[in-house]
Amino acid sequence: MEVTRILAEIDAQIAKLQQARALLAGTGSTPAPAKKAVGRPRKVVAAATATKQTRGKKKRNLSPEARKRIADAQKKRWAARKSA
């Protein structure tokens, strides 16, 4: 009888050790810790921080008179280059 009791205790110890090994290896019932991302961050993250910085700036608009002056000056440059 004593041999059977010894074998039962050994089997219980083996079961405990296998459970401890599974926990340490990450294959147990508890979820494994999340893996840390390796490499360059995604563009979505970089774009989100860029929009936060530009949010306070106001868009600049040209008046129609200023656009006409710029267009006339450019046409004058093109004419000078074409004649040369």
Strands (E), 1-84: none
pLDDT score, position 53: 61
> What's the pTM?
0.32
Q: What token pair was written down for 75?
A: 């046409």
Cβ contacts of residue 62 below 8 Å, gap of 6+? 70
- Contacts of 26 by beta carbon, 8 Å cutoff, 6+ apart: 32, 33
8-56 pLDDT per residue, tens: 999 999 999 999 988 888 865 555 566 777 888 777 755 555 555 666 6
Domain residue limits, the chain? 1-28
Q: Is the separation of the CB atoms in 30 and 23 below 8 Å?
A: yes
6, 9, 10, 13 alpha-carbon torsion, rounded to 10°: -160
Model pLDDT, residue 59:
84
